[in-house]
Amino acid sequence: MIRNTLLTLVLGLASMAMAEQQLPDSAKVGQFYAGCQIYTFKEFPVLEALDKIAACGGKTVEFFPGHKLSADDPKTKFDQNTTMEQRAPVKAKLKELGLTPVGFGVVGGLGKDEESARKVFEFCKDMGIGMVVAEPLETKEAFDIIEKLVKEFDIKMAIHNHPKKPLDRSYKYWDPEYVLSWVKDRDPRMGSCCDIGHFVRSGIKPVDAIRILKGRILDSHVKDLDQFGVREAKDQIWGTGMSDIPAVLNLYIEQGFYGPLDVEWEKDWLTSQADVTKCLEWLKNFQPAAK
């Protein structure tokens, strides 16, 4: 009995260690590994967007599919279909700026077939990206494919939540219980990308979702919003809105999750740099609640 208990404990600790994101201290903003979901600067080509993230004080970047690679070639998107030659300037820019790539997503329909999913994982491996953020196809077969690739490439997969869709009841990833149901019995490198703002838009208190997903949180898109339970809610500087970011961060610390945290600012697309900077400055100065 004691032997079985010890074995369970050892396996549990091994699983937690396996799921942890191995990131350098240089990728920290304050106590958290943090930067931007590059979608924040989607109106600018990839290289220019990376400059902006660094200028804001971000240390990490999560790429998204469909981002134009350059102003000279707007039809070419920075994703799994790029060539090695097309990726080279992005790798050089990351090194120049000291930015750590942490994720790629949101990839829709991941797992519909192994060939297309493998291409995403190969792209991430080549770019040094440790996580695919996705809204996978909702079948056991799709998750079997994803789990196989997670193990083969040692790359995590985090399910992202968009807001609840009143006109599309088939969309269920907004619900943290539903997300957990897909990953709870899978490899520990399969979990959740908690989009804090989208929980708020769905009428879910972020801390409630975080408690449900404890132990499976691999990534977090962070937004502070001006309204609760409203899909059209707009971004606010962290700490000033309805998301209760201090409570979110304190709970993350309590659970041992220190990032990546991704600022995802979705308004004033051409002039948001000052506001993104304020969010990262707020994070840098954040003081956890006394225990």
Q: What angle do CA 141, 129, 235 make, to 5 degrees?
A: 90
Q: Establish if 9 belongs to a structural domain.
A: no
Reported as half-sphere exposure (CB side, CA atoms, 13 A), residue 183 has a value of 31
Share of the chain above pLDDT 90, in %: 90
Segment 230-256 shows an average pLDDT of 98
Segment 210-224 shows an average pLDDT of 99
Q: Establish if 254 belongs to a structural domain.
A: yes
User: In whole angstroms, what is the distance from residue 32 CA to residue 30 CA?
Assistant: 6
Q: How far is CA 102 from the centre of its chain?
A: 8
User: In whole angstroms, what is the distance from residue 11 CA to residue 7 CA?
Assistant: 6
Q: Establish if 179 belongs to a structural domain.
A: yes
Q: Establish if 11 belongs to a structural domain.
A: no
Q: Establish if 183 belongs to a structural domain.
A: yes
The one-letter code for the residue type at 93 is K
Look up the domain containing 45 and give its range.
Answer: 27-284
Task: Provide the pLDDT for residue 21.
Answer: 53
| Selection from 56, 52, 94, 49 nearest residue 70 by Cα | 49
**15-69 pLDDT per residue, tens:** 444 455 589 999 999 999 999 999 999 999 999 999 999 999 999 999 999 999 9
Q: Establish if 14 belongs to a structural domain.
A: no
pLDDT range class, residue 10, cuts 50, 70, 90? very low
Task: Provide the pLDDT for residue 20.
Answer: 53
Q: Is the pLDDT of residue 76 over 50?
A: yes
Tally of domains within the chain: 1
Reported as half-sphere exposure (CB side, CA atoms, 13 A), residue 111 has a value of 22
> How many beta carbons lie within 10 A of that of residue 80, not counting itself?
20
Q: Establish if 289 belongs to a structural domain.
A: no
Q: Establish if 291 belongs to a structural domain.
A: no
Q: Which two tokens stand for residue 195?
A: 């989009």
Contacts of 58 (CB under 8 A, 6+ apart): 29, 34, 35, 36, 99, 263, 276, 280
> What CATH code is carried by the domain that includes residue 175?
3.20.20.150
Task: Provide the pLDDT for residue 74.
Answer: 86
Cis check: omega of the bond before 106, within 30 degrees of 0: yes
